[in-house]
Amino acid sequence: MKGSWVAMLRGYVWVKLIGGEPESFLNAATKEGISLWNISFTKSGELNFGVSVPDFFKLKPLLRLNGSRTRILSKHGLPFRMERLSRRKTFAVGMIVFVAALFILSTFIWNVKVEGNSAIPEEKILQAAKAEGIYSMQWSFRMQDAASLSQRLALRLPDAAWVGVDKRGTSITITVIDSTKPDKKPLEGPRHLVAKTDAVITRIVAESGRPKVERNDRVRKGDVLISGIIGDETNFKTVVSKGKVMGLVWHEYRIASPLATKTKNFTGVSQDRKYLIIGNRALQISGYKGEEYGSSLTRTSVQRTRLWNRMLPFGTMTEHELEVTEIESELTPTEAKEAGLAQARAEIKVKWGQDATIKAENILHEHTENGKVMLTVLFEVEQSIEMERPIG
């Protein structure tokens, strides 16, 4: 029995029996179903034993019959310990205060978190939450339940499609999902569409507004193509004209294409050098026997050692040096001309947009001079020619 947690819980005492017949006392105790343990004699011939506290009180009548008394030697177990503790008032008060403080503090909201990557700024959400009574150090009981809170919060945040309030212990998580809105259209004032350059109209499609020109009309730069004024002279209205106008435009290009071109080529010969980096100094450790190249290109790669996320001031550097030769190639005048024209065509595409198509090209003039082919070319390009001009 001794040492077992049940005995500890009920409490037990070590008792010394004084006077009377020990044998008859033991027999009487066992008959009563009182369990005694560690019954032994001291050197002075007294009987010692352990007994649990409830059983100790049951021993009283037996002792009287036997004509003996007991003396408690020591007390063990929870009841005695509690009694000792109860004598220390501040200790007990402290325990109660601790439990009370824990309870009271757990009824407060400690932190409010906003989740969901919303376009609505977090401050605005927190402000709305505060207006609904969700803020840190708020008393939990004063808050409504999460469902009605999220509903009322959603009313305060009209931009949000859905607002969720989740209370977990002392923390509140507000999840905000944005409603998807159509992109805002830029504000447009009433306007005309006018010609960007001199051109001959090939196609005109007016979405809104009144077309002023027709196919095959010749227009000058600044002429109104699609008018933003509809109605007659007395009753009219200005609108945002929209549409697409394609026209033939002539561009004159002067091209100078060189006959000799220089290209850099790798010879395929290369060498590596390795360095050890300490701080901002590099120590070469290999590649000493390399030869000098006349012209070369060096590619450098640095590997720094990392310790988790931090860069250490050690590492290796590899230099890869590639030998380069310059090859000069001579072009025939025809080749040079083709190269020049190709470049001019690419330039037109870049400058006038991808829907520009070259309808015709006329070489007006061509001569070779100072190792260059000089060309004057007239390109006939079909391209969009409309430009916006506000009315008023």
Partner 1 sequence: MVRVSRKLRKWTATILDLPQDVVLDLPRITMIGGLQVTVENHRGILHFSPDNLRLAMDNGEMEVTGQNLIIRNIGAEEVFVEGNILGVQLRAKGKPPG
Which residues bind to partner 1, rule: CB under 8 A? 1, 22-23, 26-27, 29-31, 33, 35-41, 47, 49
Write the DSSP assignment of 58-118 as a string of letters: HHHHHHHHHT-EEEEEEEESHHHHHHHHHH-HHHHHHHHHHHHHHHHHHTB--EEEEES--
For the CB of residue 22, give the shortest distance to partner 1 in the complex, in Å.
6
Q: Judged by CB, which is closer to partner 1: 1, or 146?
A: 1
Q: Judged by CB, which is closer to partner 1: 36, or 194?
A: 36
For the CB of residue 38, give the shortest distance to partner 1 in the complex, in Å.
6
CA atoms of 391 and 193, how far apart (whole Å): 10
Q: Judged by CB, which is closer to partner 1: 73, or 278?
A: 73
CA atoms of 1 and 39, how far apart (whole Å): 12
For the CB of residue 51, give the shortest distance to partner 1 in the complex, in Å.
11
Q: Judged by CB, which is closer to partner 1: 1, or 324?
A: 1
The pairing of strands 236-238 and 281-286 is unpaired
CA atoms of 173 and 128, how far apart (whole Å): 14
Smallest CA-to-CA distance from 114 within 179, 171, 181, 180 is with: 171
Q: Judged by CB, which is closer to partner 1: 33, or 268?
A: 33
Q: Catalogue the E-assigned strands of 160-223.
A: 160-168, 171-178, 191-195, 199-208, 210-211, 218-219
For the CB of residue 66, give the shortest distance to partner 1 in the complex, in Å.
13
CA atoms of 340 and 338, how far apart (whole Å): 5
For the CB of residue 21, give the shortest distance to partner 1 in the complex, in Å.
10
DSSP class of residue 308? T
For the CB of residue 5, give the shortest distance to partner 1 in the complex, in Å.
16
Q: Judged by CB, which is closer to partner 1: 34, or 339?
A: 34
CA atoms of 220 and 215, how far apart (whole Å): 14
CA atoms of 364 and 369, how far apart (whole Å): 16
For the CB of residue 107, give the shortest distance to partner 1 in the complex, in Å.
50
3-state SS of 119-178? Answer: CCCHHHHHHHHHHCCCCCCCEHHHCCCHHHHHHHHHHHCCCEEEEEEEEECCEEEEEEEE
Q: Judged by CB, which is closer to partner 1: 26, or 160?
A: 26
